[in-house]
Amino acid sequence: MVSHVDIHPSQDLIIQGYLDPSIALSALYPPYHRPYRTATASGPPSSTCPLSMNRYPDPHPPPTRLHHNRKKRGHVSAGHGRVGKHRKHPGGRGLAGGQHHHRINMDKYHPGYFGKVGMRHFHLTRQSKHRPIVNLDTLWTLVSEQTRKNAAKKTQVVPVIDTLRAGYGKVLAKGRLPQQPVIVKARFVSRAAEQKIKAVGGAVQLVA
């Protein structure tokens, strides 16, 4: 004679064939007490495991002799003081207290960190003033070496240097140009740069 055994109502329904076992799992086990698989060679433990992050520590931690706190062993408080103990963040996290208990540090090493300067400019569009510059001394580096060799042969073909295609917005006059005519295409050109380009027999072509 089988003794009396307490059976969960959902187990009774499973035995009688009225309930799917997979559906009854949620009734048999609360959310944090359901069985979960452990880590196997095929992958990490299941995400349903509430302790999956802490159950598997580093399998190969460094030896004790390589820990930096070995230097503090033998000194009673290990550098953390006898009275206040080693607390979490006594001065606050990050830049907390920059205008209060850390004001001296901020004023000494980071002056001007707090506050505003200047006037407000509503709907500021910086991209309209984006104008990378290129000087005449590096102008010929924007074309290939073969183009430079052909230009040095004094042929009838004049090379064209498109600064806009190379990513530059304005040509300035620093440096000197070789005595070779060249056509420079640019969006903006300074007056001195234009004079130097024309002095070697070249021309400037403005593009939008």
Residue burial 112-145, b: 16+ Cβ < 10 Å; e: rest:
eeeeeeeeeeeeeeeeeeeeeebebeebbebbee
pLDDT at position 154 is: 78
How far apart, in whole angstroms, are the C-alpha atoms of residue 94 and residue 156? 67
Report the first-to-last Cα separation within the chain, whole angstroms: 100
4 residue type, one letter = H
The top-level CATH class assigned to 129-206 is: alpha beta
Question: The pTM is what?
Answer: 0.47
Q: Which residues of the chain have pLDDT under 70?
A: 1-56
pLDDT at position 50 is: 47
Domain locations in the chain as residue ranges: 129-206
> In terms of Cα–Cα distance, which of 146, 205, 140 is closest to 175?
140
Radius of gyration for the chain, computed over Cα atoms and rounded to the nearest angstrom: 38
- Per-residue pLDDT of 71-115, as tens digits, reads 999 999 999 999 888 999 999 999 999 999 999 999 999 999 999
Q: Is 163 exposed, middle or buried (0-12, 13-18, 19+ CB in 10 A)?
A: buried
